[in-house]
Structure 1
């Protein structure tokens, strides 16, 4: 029997439940072991995929190979897994037992997994999925229920990590596969979007462990007060999101490492800022799984609004969308953030929320296309966080109050001297501090002195923000007057809402949750 571990978003050996299950199967049943990563054309042609994501994955696979013994069977097959399994079984002429982690991905991966399940039934392959974070799949015996989810999450996270196994003596299958790629032949370019990302993080577990260590020992002291500004967040945010999204690190090992560091800082009498910051980071790891559970419970929210009243409400304006996507809105902080994101593949959470809010309220764009654009731009794209957050920031959940981030006020607060804006919008380099957040207000004479003519060198705002958000609020008010709006929202809150706090509210207001933490 072949015990085959299918690697997806779990590119590591440590705390790897599927690998441990395969090793246990070997002990009980005997047989051979192999690891498989399918370079799936279907996955990498999806409109939420990008070159920057593939490059991170490719580096992670190269790093993974370095952690394996020389005789290890790590197969890299350029095909979608439902097509791989029949060919594999025919070529090997032996029964296969398949192991993988339980993935909460995009709709394509959801349907791909359904196809894998059908193929496994047809071929008599037993497929065992293992949880790798505090997200659980509904079943007849365990239907969707948030009431005991926090206890489930805590129990999972407190379990010991699966140790890195000693694989040098494992019974690796030595049979070569004719269509497998050598590691050196991994494609250099995959992904729907091919925009270069020169400033992105380097992939792989080795890089992820270094980032984790630097955060817990050095950078994390000012984490709590630094997340809002793109200037300070670049250094003091954890920067672990890409390594968690692609499984170079497990959420459990990061959580337990955080708790150990917090305990050590307490013993050392560290500055109170350390304790507050690591406590805040630990709570975010809880919310990380909380949001992924939302997509697990309702996969269609990648395409459909969570609250049905929001279907078809907004209007797509191609010119406004393109201006937003290319950093040409006329709001300097928003445009600087979009340019920064394209260069780095990462952006701090508040600025992500601001970009989505601008698309959704003053520009009144349907959220689906902005969501795909941001998904492609994020190296740390995690569908289970991305789509619930997109719907939260665009107001389509029915349970979250609309957050209309004013880009000028955000700029004055998060980049008061325009350092970030000038770095990413060099055409505004000579604009004085007094006008850097609202350059459209400069006189023609001052524009000429600064070398930037609004409407020629840099655009005026697409819309008047105050006027556009007033109109958005009126539209929302009318939407909420629909007879079943709040009863539908109450059902959504029951299914997806956090149980961390449940203050007494009137039935009408109970559906609107103010304690849903933003992970953008």
Structure 2
């Protein structure tokens, strides 16, 4: 009996329940990764993501070959690929880890499941993190998730019984898949070895100032864990990261050098990661529908093309916003606070629907994780009906997070001659006439006026009993049961805020 071991967003051999189950069987194991052209043509995927994935596949292939079963990388439709392999090798079982991906992968898995059932194929899907499939409600979820994270790592089998005559397969290039030009010169490189060195470097060297430095795009590039793309492709498991953090926490216990607090914050964000991914697992339509239906028609579904293009290119005329976008386009990464700001400015100041802006950010993020991304797009756009509305002041953020102006000047060389006191507001400079509209665009909106108008419009929706009743439904299904959940249920957290964002609301990256 041959078992197909289907890898998706779990490109590792360590702490891999599906691999362990396949190895424990009596027959041969065929490790498989399917390159699905239709998926890689979606508006939320990009060549930078594929190239990172391909690098992860290279180390996975190496590790599987060492176990005795070379990885088969096959391009095509998932059902057709699986059908062909079943017919060729007489496979009767498919084993994989559960995937919480975008709506396309959700529908693909439904189709694969229907095909498998209709053809007598046993498809076994196993959880790979604290995400719970078919969860009824969030009561007790956090404790159950923490228990999973504390459980021992799944042992890697000493060997696999591979099929005779199988050789390693080449991994196609982005150009082979017809993917568009996507230069990302500062992109992180993929692979298991780099994931482990990144984790080790963070926990022993870079992460000391994590809690303090994570909000800055300058310091965060070094001080943040930078594990997010490795977790997104599954080249390292969340439990591996949690165990490593716990071991380091024990080593630094009692020290007053910042390490304990930083590791606690990192561990908390690992939990937040699962919390947001559980939202998408529970409600896949989060990718296409507002969590609270009252916001469906708040913003025009057809975006203002000029504003959207300016935002995507980093040419809004709001210097810190543009610097952050250009940095993201170049590197494929941005710290969590600035990701939130980019989405908030697009949604509030530029009044663009999150379904128009979300795909661009998804493409730019090498670490695109649908479960986090779409929940955060809605949260930072004020469409959940249960989170406090936070409207960033993009000028103030520039002064606060880039006090020396070094980051802004690096990514906006057009502003090299602007004095420091006008760098985030060049329109106030008395020599701006020779700059704005020529070397650098004038602001596409008045940030202060646009922010005030957006606040009034979004809060104006939150009136009436009907809004509150639907909010209660959203809270019951999606709200965390830790901390202030009871306050949320009573509507207390729906009051207008000062605009300060808490770390828990911006868990795009950690």
Measured against the shorter chain, the TM-score band is over 0.9
Checking the alignment, whether the CA contact within 8 Å between 1:86 and 1:123 is kept in structure 2 is no
**Cα pair 2:291 2:383 within 8 Å, conserved:** yes
Q: Secondary structure at the match of 1:421?
A: helix
Corresponding residue to 2:373 among 375, 378, 386: 386
3-state SS of paired residue (1:100): strand
Unaligned 5+ segments in structure 1 are none
1:157 corresponds, among 145, 149, 159, to 149
Mapped to 2, the partners of 1:259 and 1:251 lie a distance apart of 12
CA positional deviation for 1:185:
5.1
Provide the rounded CA distance (Å) in 2 between the counterparts of 1:332 and 1:79.
44
Deviations 1:290-335 (A, max 9, x none): 0000000000010110000011210221110110111011111100
Match of 1:84 among 81, 88, 96: 81
**What's the offset of the Cα at 1:73?**
3.0
Give the paired residue count.
Answer: 499
TM-score, normalised to structure 1's length? 0.92
Q: Is 2:369 the counterpart of 1:377?
A: no
2:273 is matched with: 288
Q: Distance in 2 between matches of 1:324 and 1:136?
A: 36
Provide the C-alpha distance between the structure 1 equivalents of 2:175 and 2:473, rounded to a whole number of angstroms: 46
CA distance in 1, matches of 2:494, 2:328: 31
CA contact (8 A) 1:54 1:189 kept: no
Find 1:46's aligned residue among 39, 42, 52. 42
Q: Match of 2:344? A: 357
Is 1:64 matched up with 2:74? Answer: no
Residues 459-518 of structure 1 show CA distances to partners (whole Å, capped at 9, x for unaligned) of: 111111111111112212321124411111111011100111147649762463997532
Q: Where does residue 506 of structure 2 map in the other structure? A: 518
| 2:235 alignment partner in structure 1 | 248
- Distance in 1 separating the partners of 2:358 and 2:485: 32
In 2, Cα distance between equivalents of 1:202 and 1:21: 30
SS of 2:342's equivalent in the other structure is helix
Asked if the contact 1:326–1:338 (Cα under 8 Å) also holds between the matched residues in 2, the reply is: yes
Q: 1:490–1:172: structure 2 CA closer, same or farther, 3 Å change rule?
A: same
Partner in structure 1 of residue 21 of structure 2: 21
The CA distance in 2 between the partners of 1:508 and 1:464, in whole Å, is 36
2:498 alignment partner in structure 1: none
Q: Give 3-state SS (helix, strand or coil) of 2:400's partner.
A: helix
Structural mapping, 1:389-404, within 5 Å: 389-404=376-391
Deviation, 1:214, is 0.3
* Cα distance per residue 1:62-118 (max 9 Å; x no partner): 1112223354231111112111122112222x2321011111100000000011101
SS in 1 for 2:505: coil
TM-score normalised by length of structure 2: 0.94
Q: How far 1:176 sits from its partner (Å)?
A: 4.4
By how many angstroms is 1:270 displaced? 3.4
Which residue of structure 2 lines up, in the alignment, with residue 112 of structure 1? 108
Render the CA deviation track for 1:382-401: whole Å, top value 9, x for unaligned.
00000001100000000111
**Whole-Å separation in 2 of the counterparts to 1:185 and 1:369:** 30
Matches for 1:201-216 after TM superposition, within 5 Å? 201-216=188-203
Matches for 1:36-435 after TM superposition, within 5 Å:
36-69=32-65, 71-92=68-89, 94-138=90-134, 143-167=135-159, 170-176=160-166, 182-183=169-170, 188=175, 190=177, 193-266=180-253, 270-315=255-300, 316-435=303-422
Deviates more, 1:505-514 or 1:110-119: 505-514
Separation (CA, whole Å) in 1 of partners of 2:52 and 2:463: 47
Asked if 1:501 corresponds to 2:501, the answer is: no
- More deviation, 292-301/481-490: 481-490
SS in 2 for 1:68: helix
In 2, Cα distance between equivalents of 1:286 and 1:172: 36
Distance 2:374 2:393 in 1: 22
Structure 2 unpaired stretches of 5+: 496-500
1:437 aligns with 2:392: no
Contact 2:17/2:128 (CA < 8 Å) preserved in 1?
yes
Q: Provide, for residues 250-282 of structure 1, a one-character-per-residue CA deviation record: whole Å limited to 9, x for no partner.
A: 00010010010011112xx53331111111111
Whether contact under 8 Å (1:49, 1:193) holds in the other structure is no
Q: Which moved more, 1:43-52 or 1:70-79?
A: 70-79
Any conservation in 1 of the 2:73–2:171 contact (CA below 8 Å)? Answer: no
State how far apart, in whole Å, the 1-side matches of 2:317 and 2:179 are.
28
Distance 1:504 1:75, change over 3 A: closer
Distance in 2, matches of 1:249 and 1:53, equals 16
